[in-house]
A and B are shown apart, each in its own frame.
Chain A
Amino acid sequence: MVKIENLCMDIGVFSLKNIAFEIAKGACHAVLGPTGSGKTVLLETVIGIQSVKSGRVIIDGRDVSALSPATRDIAYVPQDICLFPHMSVMDNIMYGVRVRKLDTAPLMPMIDELIDFLGIRPILGRHPSGLSGGERQRAAIVRALAAKPRLLILDEPFSAIDSALREDARRLLKELYARHDITSLIVTHDIDEAYFLADQISVLIAGAVVQSGERDDIYNYPKNIAAAEFLGVRNIYDSAVESVQERSLAASFCGGYKINITCGCAQRKFSAGQKIKWAIRSEAVYILKEDSDPAGKSNCFDAEINTIYTRGKMHTVLCAVSGGAVIEIDIHDAAFNKLKLARGKKIKISLNPDSVFIIN
């Protein structure tokens, strides 16, 4: 178990503020944030390269905050991989074992298994300069795990790999985690990467964790505007509560429309007249068929398509709801063609109350 407790540090004008999260044994935690949010500084603080101002880093019950990086039992794979260029891949792998003067014999079966699993046996005698990004990354992971660290830290793990090979690398790492019960902390700005690899996610923005929790909760219910915007929620609206029921509420929307929102403990949290922001992911907005009857369906609105962006087999449709608000909808190519969507077309859209969420 790894615990980061109220970690604060200053570096120049930048500071990390009260960073706190836990990583269960064998779990992967992703710190997700935009460029400049302090992800790498956070890693360097956990590793021990930067000194903490206050707070603690606890690994398996041991407070390592004041220890040197060499004694923290944390392995680190930086963004630029950093295989030692003057050593062969095998010498890189054995570096930690040698400098710690560990007995090689008991570690070799595990190292051999890692070498074979990650497919780097043919390159063991080669130097890093002639290796591909993927080979270097796999070698660096074996090097990091060779001395059996308690925590593996990966900084932007796939940034040095060609996009075509990135998916294979992700799957391999995921399988490695499962086979070796590795406790891992990754930092990334890539939302897909974090959702694919991590069990829990912390969203780091401007040196502070704005939300931390289970992967699906973070995806489905960003708690605040900063997290929602970073996590790609495009449909965010200011509104006011009109009425509150036990597990739902109705809020105002443009053009006199009302929006129904499913919300546990609504009566305890909200009251009529209260200002709120509600949001919905663009893939959770549905376009109804022309002949479908909207009666009985919640949150149905008339809209007109303004703009269409196409990315391969996905389309993003921007449509104006009667009353002025613009809603963004992601739709697959098959549905897009079936509905014969085009700019200027009048459509009916539906927002599932369970997919609508309130943000702070």
Chain B
Amino acid sequence: MTKITFVQPDGRSQTVSARVGDSVMQTALAHSIDGIFAECGGAMMCATCHCYVEDARTGQASQGEEDLLDCAEDEVRPSSRLSCQIKVTEDLDGLVVHLPVAVD
């Protein structure tokens, strides 16, 4: 089991057990984490699973992911990722994922 901590913009955090092989997005949905909607179900088509990750273990966003991040609702930062594109591995134990502020 890999532990992942989701941190809300107001500082609230929740550490959950992620299943290896799932995406970070699927992990968030399985634990009803606020701020991850994932409307397209992980097809990299909607940018509603946007998050911030400062952790080299997760690698780089692909070009397709970058294109989608340009369409994200919230502020895009260098650490922006689509959580559907980060696969949970045993190596990612202790990963910290920050959720964006909802812009309305």
Chain A partners chain B: no
Q: What residues make up the interface of B, taking CB atoms closer than 8 Å to A?
A: none
